[in-house]
Structure 1
Amino acid sequence: MRNIKIVLEYDGTNFYGWQVQPKKRTVQGVLESALEKFLCKKTKVTAAGRTDTGVHAHGQVVNFSPEGNYDEETIKNAINAHLPDDVFVKETEEVQNAFHSRFDALSRVYIYRILKNYSVFKRAFSWYYGYDLDISRMNEGCQLLLGQKDFTSFTVTKSKKENMCMDINRCQFRETEDEIIFEIEADRFLHKCVRIIIGTFVLLGRKKLEVVDIQKILLAKDRRRAGSTAPPNGLFLKEVKY
């Protein structure tokens, strides 16, 4: 059986996240529907990660095992022909049978966009926060997140059995004329972690928190100590590294 890896982008605005749910429009659901129309057979896909309702992707990675000898370009074009306008396959590649899009990933990269000035045309893909933010303070706080740490305070997961550690390789805020863009790379991400980091760091940028408070929040291992969860529309899965 062949193993096909695809990279796709999607606008998450009108999706209830990645994973298939009964009577809900999901990215996995429309992708598997497109594959069924192309291959005339139900085909399950595996993704590198699950994005939540309203979250977007520039580079979600998926693999699946189709029947037939279609070449990579034909597979890409055929899937796209059956996908809605808010999902698009960018790349297609045949890989080794052992390849697994989730378990073989070395790291994931997310970005979060904060809009500095409100725009009707950008509101679906960024968060208009409405306050001036001190980027230097926020980047100073980023240094406290680097390395392997327990991020219990930055997730909504309630299971005591789950591993709450993440190993963050890099994270930084940068400023453009219109936006503040946060980029973070880690081996894995806990549920809603990036959005809770953003909700906490905007308080740091407004001087409602001190830099040392970030360390205190981490050590507390208590979700109530961190900020609110930022909205999903500013979050993008940028890429998955192997």
Structure 2
Amino acid sequence: MDMKRYFLELAYNGSKYHGWQIQNNAVTVQEEIEKALSLLLGIPTGIIGSGRTDTGVHASQQFAHFDAPEIADRNSLLKKLNGILGKSIAIYEIKEVVPDAHARFDAIEREYLYKCRLRKSPFDHEGSWLLFQNPDIDQMNKAAALLLEYEDFECFSKVKTEVNNFRCEIKSAFWEQNGHELFFHITANRFLRGMVRAIVGTLMEVGVGKINPDDFRSIIESKNRRKAKAAAPAQGLYLCRVSYPDRIFK
């Protein structure tokens, strides 16, 4: 059977899921999509995502690839997928790609957004971190700028994780305020498990004056997760952009 490779572009609200990756005795985003695809295509169909998100973390743009016989009507499959999947998962597009394209290994850049609120909202309590004091954004941005000077971020990685190295090329990292909302933007070629939430939690300690930017630098240089502060809550974190080279798309 002649198989083609396809990319799914999708988004999800992670509040009801135990992360992206399939687990025993837990509902995950990957599992839900694989079940729907397998049902509609009539063959067992696995997918591989651009990266894993933890329990409660969201994605406004995520990609995954799968192999299947040629799909004659991708728009029809798209509509059926969205009809089967619950309200928390949306499939935006099905794209044919070159046979060796890989959603994880071919990604050249990823961007995360972290949302905070400075006052209670009845509409977004599952999608942001409610703060009870106003942090100093200027100090947080001074500390965030230091991230661009380093490549080893072991201090912000989960302790039990299987990686070859802790090196990441961070290309931008900054806070901005819009009314009663605070947004942290960070872009890199790759991220370690738990890295963004650990960075946000530590930067927030800078914002409330418990540590200063020089302390933040010392934490990075320590390469010790115990030196960094508690991770920010999962519900404020969004994988919001994944970029690929044009060559993989047909």
Choose from 55, 58, 63 the match for 1:56. Answer: 58
CA distance in 1, matches of 2:159, 2:84: 35
What corresponds to 2:247 in structure 1?
Answer: none
What corresponds to 1:149 in structure 2?
Answer: 151
**Counterpart AA for 2:238:** F
The superposition leaves residues 207-242 of structure 1 with CA deviations (integer Å, 9 ceiling, x where unpaired) of: 111111111001111111111011100000001011
What corresponds to 1:73 in structure 2?
Answer: 75
What corresponds to 1:82 in structure 2?
Answer: 84
Change in Cα spacing, 1:70 to 1:23, as seen in structure 2 (3 Å) is farther
Paired residue secondary structure (1:58): strand
Compute the TM-score of the two structures, normalised by the length of structure 2. Answer: 0.93
Change in Cα spacing, 1:161 to 1:70, as seen in structure 2 (3 Å) is closer
What corresponds to 1:204 in structure 2?
Answer: 206
What corresponds to 1:232 in structure 2?
Answer: 234
What corresponds to 2:21 in structure 1?
Answer: 19
The superposition leaves residues 15-48 of structure 1 with CA deviations (integer Å, 9 ceiling, x where unpaired) of: 0000011121100000001001101111010100
What corresponds to 1:7 in structure 2?
Answer: 9
Q: Tell me, yes or no, if the aligned pair for 1:168 and 1:185 is still in contact at 8 Å.
A: yes
Change in Cα spacing, 1:235 to 1:156, as seen in structure 2 (3 Å) is same
Choose from 163, 180, 183 the match for 1:181. Answer: 183
CA distance in 2, matches of 1:230, 1:103: 27
What RMSD in Å do the two structures reach over aligned CA positions?
A: 1.3
What corresponds to 1:165 in structure 2?
Answer: 167
What corresponds to 2:142 in structure 1?
Answer: 140
CA distance in 2, matches of 1:190, 1:151: 8
The superposition leaves residues 100-124 of structure 1 with CA deviations (integer Å, 9 ceiling, x where unpaired) of: 1100000110000011101132110
Compute the TM-score of the two structures, normalised by the length of structure 1. Answer: 0.96
| Mean CA deviation greater in 80-89 or 157-166 | 157-166
The superposition leaves residues 72-122 of structure 1 with CA deviations (integer Å, 9 ceiling, x where unpaired) of: 212211211211111010122111111111000001100000111011321
Task: Give aligned pairs, total.
Answer: 242
| Mean CA deviation greater in 125-134 or 149-158 | 149-158
**Counterpart AA for 1:213:** D
CA distance in 1, matches of 2:117, 2:151: 29
| Mean CA deviation greater in 67-76 or 164-173 | 67-76
Q: Tell me, yes or no, if the aligned pair for 2:159 and 2:225 is still in contact at 8 Å.
A: no
Sequence identity percentage: 35
CA distance in 1, matches of 2:126, 2:34: 25
**Deviation at 1:166?**
1.0
Q: Tell me, yes or no, if the aligned pair for 1:38 and 1:82 is still in contact at 8 Å.
A: no
Q: Tell me, yes or no, if the aligned pair for 2:166 and 2:192 is still in contact at 8 Å.
A: yes
The superposition leaves residues 44-66 of structure 1 with CA deviations (integer Å, 9 ceiling, x where unpaired) of: 10100000000000000011111
**Counterpart AA for 1:178:** H
CA distance in 2, matches of 1:44, 1:160: 22
Structure 1 unmatched ranges of 5 or more: none
What corresponds to 2:248 in structure 1?
Answer: none
**Counterpart AA for 1:93:** K
**Counterpart AA for 2:77:** I
